Chains A and B, each alone.
Chain A
């Protein structure tokens, strides 16, 4: 017993100070492609995206993060210039679905600023998203320090964290979990699969994301989103962080233009 205590003490503090201090350690996030201005001939790169996440707008290549699966084809395809790669992990946003009125989405608010309970539902995820979420509870990220806890029963949950494209066999389970939660409740869809079905959906056996079955409030894009991105999503749902858009940002010299796919 003593050995373990000493071992723990000897290891020291590994936990990140995010969100009070920005986290810059290499390897915490794979980063993601961002808006890049290309010559017209290179706009063909859009066609090379196997996830159909790239689109052109006003002379630039933009990224729809609901679809991007981090396949690196847009940086590593020979014959094309590399797309700009942006670091960071603050990716979470309001759910960007036309059927959801964005104004109606509000974070949980003050009563939940110190204690939020989360129920995770795996609706067909590959395991990487689950692994990244599990990292949150472990020393490097330790989200308990922010008052975030995972609960085994949805009866006590405030946030439903859903991952995976929502397979048919999990549809009922997800629905029941959502219905079992008391209000106020928020749904955070984590990972590209949960946002758009990713490489799996829509198909005969899986849907095109969680929003088809239950209303999604917040989205965390990424394949998989690194732990801090998920944490950003949770803080967003608790009203303790600001959202970023689901499509790569415009810059100052942008003209409003039509999206080209």
Chain B
């Protein structure tokens, strides 16, 4: 089927889903939602694959909007990338929903949830395929409101409405900013069609270009969770229903990224490196702050939310680096950066979807999300533990999982900074590279904490002790995502050329040749490579698999010049092979050593205590405390200590109570001052209201005079 008709099919399916939800009784809705959702996802995946792999594209006018133009949809490879990723996460989430939303039955209306989700799917598809600003903004707004409604789904919970409103307010501000930016672009002459905007944007003045850039970047940044417009994100993720959190992190966050990268460089090519640099720096700050707060956080869902900020930061940083390279004319490296960025975006959707589903399973299984009160779940929920471990390894960027590939490529791309001819930018690249490396390190700490505190050790609460494994319908989607994480990790040589199809139109160059050279692909010739280069590689043994594998080789490498033929190289597939060999070897050695011997199993040595109490094991707070101490300046806590004593000399202590309060740095620096300024302003206004009639008459008179003066001045000026 052609992607064009598939998109229409998805929209029809969404409509059908809404219709079914309306007429069916609530108890069937769960299954119907899952089935239709999976169908939608399948269609979306086919559409995405068609656009991406088979190089198809389409343009379709939907409706002539009076006075404003035509609403039309369009599909290209970039849409294809996002549609495919969205489809996979949507598929997993829909399947997961059958089991997960059972608990809502009778408490909240599942019909409502189903309608919202179908409409959300439709709006997402329209956003990803919109060919004009009008349709884009309309679907964007629909998506924002539906997201709010979904976050607010469990409205009976205490914190939900507040978090929901916070999210709605922020995303409306973002939408507004984006709308203004589109107006500015449209003012350039071409109207609301993206193609027209693209044609005229080059002629805009630098001031307008900068304004547009800033408005778009921070407007879409709200959805993508970028610093400093992300304060809504951890809260909303924390209270959203588990199915939807996966969609929030795996799909809607990508929409923000999509908005940014669709416009830059696609719609509005940049000729200075500075906007790219701004993106790189903002991305890096988002990343480091995100992971710092994630490491510190103890609520599993909120921890994952902070980590989403981190990952969005990395994606944006890589894209920004690409823009800088592009502006400097290094098209190949720019293409690498763009591929890296898209790769990481896709990876993040997969593993974050997986981890949020895992967190949802932990909550379903134990009723607890606080890491300080979890522990030892691996014995009660082995499958969830296994999949969560896969997700943790992926997000912590450990080979052979997918996170490693994209983070490694990100850092390698940043290391290409010497190609840039401006010292300031080189320094900025170096600093951002260091920050991102630190982020990667902290991510390991963070997810060692997340996994070990939830699944290892002893249970720290009664709920954790009584936890039970989730049903198959909830385990299967996690398994699918975990498998994809591994696949994306070991087959980068197949993923990169695919993504290259989306990137090459932007940089007007194919990067595949530079990253996955043809001589690793047996079907192609070696003509393009110098002799000594091939000889070098032969020695390294990197040609292994040349004749064995049908498709591409398994080594990612960046081809350099004559002097330094290989800039970097790696192969996760070989790493996996070596890893498996080592594991098998270790297992066999252990087996061989222990045969014929009596193996006694004893509990851990406890120093001769009566028994080890769960209070005697490290808590999540304790584990991340060194990070909290080192980055005290960021967290800026206010600590109180209250000693309960019963004596005048206070030597009899019956309790020492410590409390620690923290305000997120973004709220502390940006939100709190704004709110307090607004407050004092309103107090000022309130002071004017003294309740005396003649006073109000005076105000009216004053306003009149001021208005007259203003109009007069305008007249004189003209």
Rounded to whole Å, the gap between the CB of A191 and the closest CB of chain B is 19
A154 near B605 with CB under 8 A, answer yes
B-side interface size class: under 10
User: Which chain A positions have C-beta within 8 A of B605?
Assistant: 153-155, 180
Rounded to whole Å, the gap between the CB of B597 and the closest CB of chain A is 11
Select which of B600, B602, B610 is within 8 A of A172 by beta carbon. B610
Task: Flag whether B606 is at the interface (Cβ < 8 A).
Answer: yes
User: Which chain A positions have C-beta within 8 A of B602?
Assistant: 179-180
Interface residues of A in 172-194 (CB under 8 A from B): 172-174, 176-177, 179-180, 182-183
Rounded to whole Å, the gap between the CB of B623 and the closest CB of chain A is 23
B608 near A173 with CB under 8 A, answer yes
A176 near B600 with CB under 8 A, answer no
> How distant is the Cα of A98 from the Cα of B80 in the complex, in angstroms?
86
> How distant is the Cα of A153 from the Cα of B604 in the complex, in angstroms?
11
User: Which chain B positions have C-beta within 8 A of A180?
Assistant: 602, 605
B608 near A177 with CB under 8 A, answer yes
> How distant is the Cα of A170 from the Cα of B608 in the complex, in angstroms?
8
> How distant is the Cα of A9 from the Cα of B208 in the complex, in angstroms?
80
Rounded to whole Å, the gap between the CB of B612 and the closest CB of chain A is 11
User: Which chain A positions have C-beta within 8 A of B606?
Assistant: 176
User: Which chain A positions have C-beta within 8 A of B609?
Assistant: 173
Interface size on A, residues (CB 8 A): 14
User: Which chain A positions have C-beta within 8 A of B600?
Assistant: 182-183
User: Which chain B positions have C-beta within 8 A of A121?
Assistant: 608
User: Which chain A positions have C-beta within 8 A of B610?
Assistant: 172
> How distant is the Cα of A179 from the Cα of B610 in the complex, in angstroms?
14
> How distant is the Cα of A73 from the Cα of B84 in the complex, in angstroms?
95
Rounded to whole Å, the gap between the CB of B610 and the closest CB of chain A is 6
Interface residues of B in 574-631 (CB under 8 A from A): 600, 602, 605-610
Interface-central residue, B600, B605, B606, by most chain A CB under 10 Å: B605
Q: Select from chain B the residue with minimum beta-carbon distance to A170.
A: B608
Interface residues of A in 35-90 (CB under 8 A from B): none
Rounded to whole Å, the gap between the CB of A170 and the closest CB of chain B is 8
Annotate A164-176 by CB proximity to B: 1 below 8 A, 0 otherwise: 0000001011101
Interface-central residue, A170, A172, A176, A182, by most chain B CB under 10 Å: A176
Select which of A155, A174, A182, A183 is within 8 A of B608 by beta carbon. A174
> How distant is the Cα of A176 from the Cα of B603 in the complex, in angstroms?
10
> How distant is the Cα of A179 from the Cα of B605 in the complex, in angstroms?
10
Interface residues of A in 144-160 (CB under 8 A from B): 153-155
Interface residues of B in 51-97 (CB under 8 A from A): none
Q: Select from chain A the residue with minimum beta-carbon distance to B602.
A: A180
Annotate B337-374 by CB proximity to A: 1 below 8 A, 0 otherwise: 00000000000000000000000000000000000000
Q: Select from chain B the residue with minimum beta-carbon distance to A156.
A: B605
Annotate A122-163 by CB proximity to B: 1 below 8 A, 0 otherwise: 000000000000000000000000000000011100000000
> How distant is the Cα of A154 from the Cα of B607 in the complex, in angstroms?
9
User: Which chain B positions have C-beta within 8 A of A177?
Assistant: 608
> How distant is the Cα of A121 from the Cα of B606 in the complex, in angstroms?
14
Rounded to whole Å, the gap between the CB of A204 and the closest CB of chain B is 20
User: Which chain B positions have C-beta within 8 A of A183?
Assistant: 600
User: Which chain B positions have C-beta within 8 A of A153?
Assistant: 605
> How distant is the Cα of A179 from the Cα of B607 in the complex, in angstroms?
12
User: Which chain B positions have C-beta within 8 A of A170?
Assistant: 608
Rounded to whole Å, the gap between the CB of B677 and the closest CB of chain A is 60
Interface-central residue, B606, B607, B608, by most chain A CB under 10 Å: B608
Q: Can you name 19 A-B pairs with beta carbons within 8 Å?
A: A121-B608, A153-B605, A154-B605, A155-B605, A170-B608, A172-B608, A172-B610, A173-B607, A173-B608, A173-B609, A174-B608, A176-B606, A176-B608, A177-B608, A179-B602, A180-B602, A180-B605, A182-B600, A183-B600
Closest CB pairs A-B (n = 9): A173-B608, A176-B608, A180-B605, A155-B605, A153-B605, A177-B608, A180-B602, A172-B610, A154-B605
Q: Which residues of B contact A (CB under 8 A)?
A: 600, 602, 605-610
Please name 11 further chain A to chain B contacts, defined as beta carbons within 8 Å, in addition to the given A153-B605, A172-B608, A174-B608, sorted by A numbering.
Answer: A121-B608, A154-B605, A155-B605, A172-B610, A173-B607, A176-B606, A176-B608, A177-B608, A180-B605, A182-B600, A183-B600
